[in-house]
Each structure stands twice: as structure tokens, then as C-alpha cells.
Structure 1
Amino acid sequence: MPSTTATTPQGSAASLSHGLKQRHLSMIALGGVIGAGLFVGSGAGIAAAGPSIVLAYTLSGLLVMLVMRMLGEMSAAYPSSGSFSAHAERAIGPWAGFTAGWSFWVLLCTAVGLEGIGAAKIVTGWLPGTPEWAWVALFMLVFCATNLAAVKNFGEFEFWFAALKVGAIGLFLVLGVLAIAGVLPGTHSPGTANLTGRGGFFPGGGEGLVVGLLASVFAYGGLETVTIAAAESEDPVRGVASAVRTAMWRIGLFYIGSMAVIVTLVPWDSKAVVEKGPYVAALDELGIPGAGQLMNVVVLVALLSAMNANVYGSSRIAYSLVARGLGPQALGRVSSGVPRIAVLVSCLFGFGCVLLSHWRPDDVFPWLLNMIGAVVLVVWTLVAVSHLRLRRSRSFPVLTWAALAGMAAILVLMARDPDTRVQLYATGAMTLVLAGVGYARQRALSVASV
């Protein structure tokens, strides 16, 4: 792929700033994968798959590494705040960029609301009687203000958020390995009892492994943010390549290593794994005073970090779509290097999701959650197809085809599972609607230009 430099997108009066440093990108790449999906959502995967959750995270981790390798290569060649959306437009057509961009924007904005709800639940657990929505509103105001200011403020927030998360995971792994080895004072090594007992390594059989695999795939969401942020770095080409490269091997350490430690220390069918979260359950098992509450603080930071990153990512995706003529022009207005209207609209959409969870928790809110359930797979598929088309003059890309085969297999598994089938169909419907609108726009513009 030919290397290019980032330019001011067509249709925008001003360009985004370049205030992100290499250390920001590196920590955004690491912190992006350490979020609620790992700290909280992995509990459901463990409950379904048992110790085989380690295998599930390994398989899905390999797929994510392939996707990020493709995305990193394209982002280094064509730096853009639109990332995969811009690549899909370049490789497939405007309708594909429209579909990828707006579906991911809906996903990120909804995720902002969900993460705010999760963070508020932790705080109200410490301060009973305080309303959850008020805490979400406070978090939203803080991160909206952060993202309305210069991009370096977002970078600094994420740098320190990510540093805390990485440090916490590192300490957890060290304590866990020492406990498993039987050298941590006050603990007794569980050996392999939790791995081979209670139904063995595959207590849920193939179905349990499938549920764990699906849970692990969506837990990896967040790495895409670094390729969006690369366009605002001092050196987009070098920055994204380095950030993605270092993040890929650390995925294995943080995700797969954590799952291995947890299922070795804690019985997979312990209620605490789901009720308290797997990390808190593991630390409670070690009997370290106050460790469970300390981990709750880390989980809170992880949720707030994800909120901050998703407000940023959604605003930049919207900006890029508008700059490429794929959205309302108002969202593309840039002031002091920041698309402030896009930031405000993204925050309002996220808070609207929070209100829906209170006003319509039984119909509209579940429908919204189902609609975004498989968006990550849609985006990954478009990334792989874009990579194939942009590299078509080169040798046969075996790894890209392998990634596409893996995604197809996951989609088949989702269609076979009753719990995920609804998500697959709802996301498919949204994708088809967006693709139809995008194609109609593309045809109309093509006719008008003749």
C-alpha cells in the first residue's frame, strides 16, 4: 500500500488538531482493550464455558489480532479519523463507508450510556439512595467538557486511565501466579482442581464454549479507537504501526492470562464470579483485605475510561463521515481543532440511551441493545473485505481470508444460539437499512454529477 499523509478532509472548514503524542497512542491502544467487557462481562462467559473460557479467549484473540493487523496497515497507509469507514469507502464504495461509519457511531454512543449506567451502579453501591441518572449526567458532563477542549486533554485522560488499568491487571497477574504457585503468604495453591474438577475443562460442552467464544469476541471491542486517534497524532504512520504492534501481544497477556488465573483460582460455577465480577471474586478467594473494593475502584476507572474513549471515537467518526459527504454538515464544524457539535450530539445520544433504560426498559431499550449486538462483526468483516481489495495487486492474503472464515463461523454460531440470534437479526436489519440508504445516496449523487 502506498503511504500517504493525513490531509484536511474535503468539505471541512478546518482540520483536526495533531495533539496526540506517541505515549498517548500506546496507552490508548492498551487501555482500549481493558474495559467493562474484561472486568465485568467476562463473568458470564466463565459461568457458561467454565475453564474452557481460556480457549475461547485465545481463539477470539487470534481473530482480533488479524483484524488489527489489517486495520493498522490500512491506517498507516491512509491516516483518517474515519478509520475503517474511510477504508471501506475507498475500497468498496461510499455506501460501505456510510454503513460502517454510522453503525459504529450508534454502537459507540449507546456504549457511552451503558458504561455510564455501569459506573453509576458502582457509585450508588457506595452511596445508597443517590439516583443513578444523576451520576451518569455528571460523568457525561465531565467527559463532554474534556472532549470539547483540545484533543491533548483526551489523550492525557486516557493515558492515566490506561496506566491505572494496566498497572492493576499487572499486579493481579503477579498475585495470581504467586498464589497458584503456592508462594503467596496466607494462601494455598489450588493446583489443577478447578480446571479438571466440577465437570472438567469443558463443563458446558460445545455449547458452553460457543457462549464463551461469543462473549469473548465482544469483550475485545475498543481496539479500533487507536486507529481513529492516529489521524490526530504527531506522526500518524509511525504512531499507529507502533501502537497496534505493541497492543497485539499484550492482548494475550492481559486477556488470556487473566482468564487462566481466574479459572485456576476460583471455581467456575461460583456465584461470586457473576455477582461480584471475576476479578473481585478471585481477589476475595486470596483473602487479601480490601482487595475486592480496590478492584471495584479499578472497574469504575475502566468504565469511565471507556466512556471517555467512546465519546471521542463517536465524535471523530461523525466528523469524518460529514467531511466525506456522508452526513449532515453541522456535525462537521471544527473549532480549535475539535468537532464540537459532533461531541455534543454524541453525548446527547448516549444520555438518551440512559433515559430509555429508565423510561422504556422492557421494549425500546432491549431493542436498541439487540440492534448493536453484532455491529463489531459487521465492522470487522468490512475491514477484511477492504483489506482484500486494497491489497489485490499483491500476493494471496492467506491471513485475511482466515479472518473472514473466522467471522463467518462466529456469525453461524450466533444464528444457532437462541440468545444471540435476536442480536444477529436486529443488527442485520440495521445494517441493511443503512446500506440501502447509503447506496441510494451514492446513486443519487452519481446521477446528479452526470
Structure 2
Amino acid sequence: MTTRPLDSLPPDTTPPTSDQPPEQAGLRAGLKNRHLSMIAIGGVIGAGLFVGSASGIAAAGPGILVSYVLVGALVVFVMRMLGEMAAANPSSGSFSAYADRDRALGRWAGFSIGWLYWFFWVVVLAVEATAGAEILEGWVPAVPQWAWALIVMVVLTVTNLASVGSFGEFEFWFAGIKVVAISAFIVIGGLAIFGVLPGSDHAATGFANLTEHGGFLPNGPGTILTGILLVVFSFMGSEIVTLAAGEAPDARRAVAKATRSVIWRVGVFYVGSILVVVSLLPWNDPAIKKHGSYVAALDTIGIPHAGQIMNFIVLTAVLSCLNSGLYTASRMAFSLGQRGDAPQSFVRTNAGGVPQTAILASVAFGFVAVAFNYLWPDTVFQFLLNSSGAVALFVWLVICFSQLRMRGIILRESPEKLVVKMWLFPYLTWATIGMISFVLLYMLTDDKEGGGRSQVLLSLLVAALVIAISLVRDRARRKETEKAVAPQ
């Protein structure tokens, strides 16, 4: 098979057309190093960590730590593979661009995973807008929830439309608040565990709560797998830094730095904070389920107004997810447009160097999903949630298979660009593929309503539909090409 040179992947800028002035010719490198660094650090901390950990603790007890370690390792491996490809060739299409055409898996793969990823994020926009609106309505009940959702979406849309620098600045502060909050929680919680927290009447527990109250695995070792299903999707978003790198001045260096730091980020923010929670409180403490794991832990320490403090942090995480989700969806749409897999209007950029139509199209679908959430939450919106539920795992699989192909291409054509390397290649890549496949298969055993089985099956249905559209389009294009070159 003939392969294109590495540098022939679609670039992140578009040449001017007759209706596109030079100053609107493509994306601009408007993200500063501090923006990209904070996106890399804070991107791994999602709202799911704060609001979703309670269910995992209830299911697996202290053993949820093992679930977080296993999923964290999975994310580290996937990010290492993605970092290898992104450092060699930064692109706003990231894994979708790497999978595209003969570079790795084929044009159908780039088209399909790109649109599935876009679909995932526009659904996330609706989820996060609703979650943020619920918190804001609790603070200002005079404004209805739907109005808060509208306000939040409009503000962040304007931010993204202004320039990539304004997106980066907002995300810098959103991510900064999350990082400071979780770091403070770990430090204060650690002091409380050993009884050295000034002004606290909390008795030192050490790590006794990890083995008391039924043991480390009170509900059996099988709950570790249940915990994996409950926590795996809270890690989605760590790959955003590789998309953002396409708009940074020194993308290769930024990607390499972010990839190498993912181990400590996952270890500290996820495993470290959950260790504090299950050490401070018995895993079966009713307060965890009633108030949430982090609020319950803060209450135990004696922090006043713990609930409102955590609401503020969760709101920050929600706004960060909305901000980065809109950015991510629009840049994926932009990349699809560059490759001819989306309307060409998605490629056009405004005076601020951002893909205006791609942003507006993404937020429009986000608004539609929000409306579905209010009008038909248990039918249409639940279908959207379930049909995008396994997309994260599909994305990770595509990254793994793309890296298997791209490593050889990089070594053959531009070995000097291999500044980040996947460990123990190809054995660890195949092991990661096996781990992801196992999680998908295990999800099929979760047959409760809205559970893993429905998510996998509906996500597979949507994926099959998108792949079918891609194959039909490719066939039509080949026929047009053959007709154009055929002798008259």
C-alpha cells in the first residue's frame, strides 16, 4: 500500500479562497504555554470525579481505589500512545486525523470516530449545562433552570467565538480552581487522617477505614470490575490537550510535556483524593450517598459550609467541561471539514482565527439536546446519553490501533519526530486493546436500565450507522473519480 509522507496529513490552516480574506485563512496559534499546561493538568479533573465517586465507593467499598488505579493506568497508556502521534504531528483533528485515510486505519475510521467524538461532546454540553443550571438555580431561584442553562451556554459560546486565547484564558482559571481545590482537599484531608489538622476535633483514623467495616473488598472482588464501569467515563477529556496543541506556538514540546506528566496527574488527583475520602470515612457511611463523597469528607473534617464550597467547585468543573467541550467539538468539526468529511463552511475562520460556523453548529446541537433534556428526559435524551455512552472506549481503541500503524510510518519517514515513545511497544499497546475490549464486554453484563449493556449496544448502533454513511460516501467518491479520469 502506498502511504503519504508524514507531513502530508491535513494541516491546521486553510489557504484563502475567493470568499475568505487572508486574515481569515485558518486557526491561529493563540494558546499560550500556561494555557496548554493548565489544560493538561486540569483537563483530567472532570465533574464526574466530584459527583460520581460516591456510587463507586458504595459499590466497591475501599476497593474502589483498585478500580481507579486500573482505569488510571488505562488512561496513562492511551495518552502515551496519543502523545506519541500528536508530538510527531500536532493536529486539531488529533486521533481522528491520525486514523484517517491510509495513515493508519483508513478514511472510514477518521470520518467515523471524528463524528462520534463530536456527537459525544455535544451531548455532554447538554448534560453539563443542565448540571450547572441546577446549582445556579439553587443560589438564585428567581431565575428558572432553563434560563440559567441558556445563559451559561451563550456566555461560553461568545467566549469561544472571540478567540482561542479567550477560550484558553477561561480554561486556565477554571482548571486552576479545580487544581487548587483538589490539591487543598488532599493536603487538608491528609492532615486530618493523621490528626494534625489545626483547629479540628477530628480524631486521627490513619488508614483503619480501609480494612475495617467488612474489609478492603466488603462486597467481594467482583465489585472492582463494577467500580471500573462506574469511574471509567469520569476520565474522558484527558485527550483534549492534544487537540489544543494544534493552536499552540510550540505544540510538539507542549504535547510531550503533557504526556509525560499524565501519570502524576492521574495518581494525585484521582487516586490521591479518593484515598483521602475512604480513609476519612467508613465506606458505608450514609453521608457519602446523601451528600456526596467530598462533601461528606469535608463535613467530617469540620470544614464549615462544605456543601456550598463543593457546589462552587462542581460548578467550576461543569463550566470548564462546557468550555472545553464546545472547543473540542468545534475543532473536531473543523478538522472533519478540512478532510472533506464535513461542510466546507466548518473550515472558515473569523477575524479572531476561530472556526465560527463549526462553533455555532456544535452549540446549536447542544441547545437541541438541552431542549430534549427538559422536554423528554426519559426517552429522547436518555437515548442520546446511552448512544454516546461507550464512545470514549471506542475512541481509545482507535487511538491504540492507529498507534500500531503510525509508529512504523514515523520511524520510516521522520524518526527525529518520535520524541514521545509508547513503552514496551507493541506488547503494551496490545495489552491496552485487550483491557478496553474486556471493559466493553463486561459492560454487556450490566443489564439494568440505562446500564452498560444498553450503552454499548446503542453506541454500536450509532457507530455502525456512521460507518455505513462513510463507506457509502467513499464508494460514491470513487465512482466520481473513476468517471472523471475515464477516457471520453
Instruction: Report the TM-score, using the length of structure 2 for normalisation.
Output: 0.89
**Corresponding residue for 1:414?**
443
1:362 corresponds to which of 378, 387, 400: 378
**Corresponding residue for 2:69?**
58
**Corresponding residue for 2:361?**
345
Distance 2:437 2:278 in 1: 29
Distance 2:359 2:306 in 1: 36
- Aligned-pair distance for 1:271? 3.3
**Corresponding residue for 1:429?**
461
5 Å-filtered alignment, 1:178-257, equals: 178-184=191-197, 185-257=200-272
Deviations 1:219-240 (A, max 9, x none): 1001111111000000111111
Distance 1:134 1:362 in 2: 21
- Aligned-pair distance for 1:187? 1.4
| Counterpart contact for 2:295–2:307, Cα < 8 Å | yes
Distance 1:167 1:270 in 2: 27
- Aligned-pair distance for 1:248? 3.1
5 Å-filtered alignment, 1:59-98, equals: 59-89=70-100, 90-98=103-111
State the superposition RMSD in angstroms.
1.9
SS of 2:261 mapped into structure 1: helix
Deviations 1:157-195 (A, max 9, x none): 111111111011110000111111111132112234422
446 and 211 in structure 1: CA distance in 2 versus 1, 3 angstrom threshold: same
| Counterpart contact for 1:6–1:231, Cα < 8 Å | no
Distance 1:103 1:46 in 2: 30
**Corresponding residue for 1:448?**
480
- Aligned-pair distance for 1:247? 3.1
Structure having the higher Rg? 2
Amino acid at match of 2:460: G
Distance 2:209 2:137 in 1: 34
| Counterpart contact for 1:12–1:332, Cα < 8 Å | no
Instruction: Report the TM-score, using the length of structure 1 for normalisation.
Output: 0.96
Q: Is 2:320 the partner of 1:288?
A: no
| Counterpart contact for 1:109–1:350, Cα < 8 Å | yes
Amino acid at match of 1:94: R
Distance 1:98 1:26 in 2: 29
SS of 1:160 mapped into structure 2: helix
Deviations 1:199-245 (A, max 9, x none): 22112223422221112211100111111100000011111111222
- Aligned-pair distance for 1:99? 0.8
Distance 1:128 1:396 in 2: 55
Consecutive unaligned residues of structure 1, counting only runs of 5 or more, are: none
SS of 2:316 mapped into structure 1: helix
- Aligned-pair distance for 1:367? 0.7
Amino acid at match of 1:374: A
Kindly tell me the number of residue pairs found equivalent between the two proteins: 450
- Aligned-pair distance for 1:9? 5.0
SS of 1:206 mapped into structure 2: coil
Distance 1:51 1:193 in 2: 11
Report the more deviating stretch, 343-352 or 189-198.
189-198
Report the more deviating stretch, 120-129 or 343-352.
120-129
Distance 2:345 2:63 in 1: 49
- Aligned-pair distance for 1:23? 1.1
- Aligned-pair distance for 1:46? 1.3
Distance 2:465 2:266 in 1: 34
Distance 2:314 2:471 in 1: 41
**Corresponding residue for 1:165?**
178
Amino acid at match of 1:383: I
Q: Is 2:115 the partner of 1:102?
A: yes
